[in-house]
């Protein structure tokens, strides 16, 4: 079947469902009983799934291709997609007009109760399948017209075994290490650039959280999908009007601390909510997980420090730096390499500040690059450095000794941490 035939068949199939969709408007009051509410939400999702697929008919082959990770619509006529880490120009279809693309943008925004256009030049939203969407409209998007960036949501839940055996993101030893630090409630930051797999890695690491824990997930736009039964999802809402003032992540943090969480998971810190996250880490809520945009573990700490200073609390730089150094225990650095693969680059312990008030990180694992093969794939992998972390004995003290198998060189009940050895040598 050609792309044009595929598009025509899908358009005919979907058009039958569209006329009545705009007439169905779920009750936003939330006052219906639980069962009716769930039924309405399910129907609402089905309606938007059909309508969204109708409006996005030109790119349906990409939406239905599980190997496509990003769809980048630059106006009605130019579409790119990422597949297996590489960008390609899409030649299978285009939108009929600027108005058709704007209609698609409006439909996507409506699904998450948001608006785009007029006073709002952009919006973060999601598709019914969970895929993340960013929309920017003219005049901010320039002469090419509406731009829609879709980060695909993988239906199969990521876990660390899949990242080891299917994607080669890390070794089995590193996966075991990550599972153990999650179970030991180490405050962990997943750091990386755009498209480096931060959210996927955070999802995979979250599978190590025990089922009996109460988990509160806070996100700007819902992406994470945890499997634990006692998980509560909170989602920030944008300002619409005085009657709909929105809800910030900072406000959700206040709510979270009153909800008796065993674990707080933040999809990504982008603004002043970093200070609230650090405060929660330092006030007894250990084991928090989050992501941040940065290129190295050291840069991740600087980024958190800078974001903390962006809050509405006047904070001296030294205080912000001290809080980051005290709160963050492990940084896991991921990257998208030139061959399109996503690999862990560092797993590092934060040892606080040195005498010059600089962050001190020690790599427990580090990526070693050895070259490139004939097909352009990078040869190398993440390896143990020999550094013994300060928490080397902790799995045994917490009753997790039976789970220490591949990581025996890192975790040892008789080990003397490297930092202790170095300090005693002076």
Report d(CA 74, CA 94) in Å as an integer.
Answer: 10
Query: Exposed, middle or buried by CB within 10 Å (0-12, 13-18, 19+), for 148?
Result: buried
The pLDDT confidence band at residue 226, using thresholds 50, 70 and 90, is confident
Q: What per-residue confidence (pLDDT) applies to 268?
A: 87
All structural domains of the chain with their residue ranges: 3-151, 160-424
Position with higher pLDDT, 259 vs 43: 259
DSSP states along 297-325: HHHHHHHHHHHHHTSSS---HHHHHHHHH
Please check the confidence at residue 390 and state whether its pLDDT lies above 60.
Answer: yes
Condensed to tens digits (0 to 9), the pLDDT of residues 262-280 reads 999 998 888 888 998 998 8
Q: Global pTM? A: 0.80
Average pLDDT over residues 226-250: 82
CATH T-level assignment (fold) for domain 3-151:
Beta-Lactamase (3.30.450)
Which residue in 245, 205, 178 sits closest to 406, CA to CA?
178
Helices 273-282 + 249-257 axis angle, to 10: 20
* Six token digits for residue 244: 């709909």
Position with higher pLDDT, 59 vs 284: 59
What CATH number matches the domain at 160-424, 3.40.50.300, 1.10.1760.20, 1.10.1030.10, 3.40.50.700?
A: 3.40.50.300
Average pLDDT over residues 276-303: 93
Alpha helices in 184-284 (DSSP H): 198-206, 249-257, 273-282
The full 3-state SS of 145-163, as one line of letters, equals CCEEEEECCCCCCCCHHHH
Contact 254, 206 (CB under 8 A): no
| Three-state secondary structure call for residue 213 | coil
Beta sheet of 263-266, edge-to-edge order? 231-235, 215-219, 263-266, 289-293, 188-192, 330-336, 342-353, 359-372, 378-384
Average pLDDT over residues 170-180: 97
Condensed to tens digits (0 to 9), the pLDDT of residues 58-91 reads 999 999 998 898 999 999 999 999 998 889 999 9
Roughly how many angstroms between the first and final C-alpha of the chain, as a whole number?
73
Using the CB atoms, write b or e for 132-145: b if 16+ within 10 Å: bbebbbbeebeeeb
Report d(CA 76, CA 102) in Å as an integer.
Answer: 9
The pLDDT confidence band at residue 406, using thresholds 50, 70 and 90, is very high
Report d(CA 337, CA 71) in Å as an integer.
Answer: 19
């Amino acid at each position: 079947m050609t792309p044009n035939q595929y598009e025509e068949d899908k358009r005919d199939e979907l058009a039958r469902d569209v006329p009545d969709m705009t007439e169905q408007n779920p009750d936003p009051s939330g006052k219906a009983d639980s069962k009716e509410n769930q039924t309405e939400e399910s129907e609402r999702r089905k309606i938007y799934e059909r309508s969204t697929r109708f409006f996005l008919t030109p790119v349906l082959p990409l939406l239905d291709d599980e190997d496509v990770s990003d769809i980048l619509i630059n106006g009605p006529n130019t579409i790119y997609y990422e597949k297996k880490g590489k960008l390609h120009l899409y030649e299978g279809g285009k939108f009929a007009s600027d108005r058709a693309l704007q209609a698609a943008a409006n439909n996507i925004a409506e699904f998450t109760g948001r608006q785009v256009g007029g006073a709002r030049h952009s919006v973060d939203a999601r598709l019914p399948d969970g895929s993340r969407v960013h929309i920017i409209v003219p005049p901010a998007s320039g002469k090419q017209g509406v731009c829609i960036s879709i980060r695909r949501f993988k239906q199969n839940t990521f876990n660390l075994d899949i990242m080891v055996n299917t994607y080669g993101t890390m070794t089995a030893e590193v996966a075991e290490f990550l599972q153990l630090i999650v179970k030991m409630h180490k405050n962990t930051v997943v750091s990386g650039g755009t498209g480096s797999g931060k959210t996927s890695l955070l999802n995979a690491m979250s599978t190590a959280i025990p089922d009996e824990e109460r988990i509160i997930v806070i996100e700007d736009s819902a992406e994470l999908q945890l499997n634990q039964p006692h998980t509560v999802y909170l989602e920030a809402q944008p300002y619409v009007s005085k009657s709909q003032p929105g809800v910030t992540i900072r406000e959700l943090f206040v709510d979270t601390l009153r909800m008796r969480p065993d674990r707080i998971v933040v999809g990504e810190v982008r603004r002043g909510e970093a200070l609230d996250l650090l405060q929660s880490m330092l006030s007894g809520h250990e084991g928090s997980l989050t992501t941040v945009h940065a290129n190295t573990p050291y840069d991740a700490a600087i980024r958190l420090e800078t974001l903390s200073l962006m809050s509405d609390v006047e904070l001296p730089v030294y205080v912000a730096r001290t809080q980051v150094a005290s709160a963050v225990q492990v940084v896991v650095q991921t990257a998208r390499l030139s061959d399109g693969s996503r690999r862990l680059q560092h797993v590092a312990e934060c040892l606080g500040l040195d005498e010059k008030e600089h962050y001190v990180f020690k790599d427990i694992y580090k990526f070693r690059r050895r070259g490139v093969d004939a097909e352009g794939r990078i040869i190398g992998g993440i390896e143990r450095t020999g550094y013994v972390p300060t928490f080397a004995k902790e799995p045994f003290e917490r009753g997790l000794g039976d789970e220490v198998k591949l990581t025996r060189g890192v975790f040892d009940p008789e080990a003397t941490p490297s930092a202790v050895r170095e300090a005693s040598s002076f």
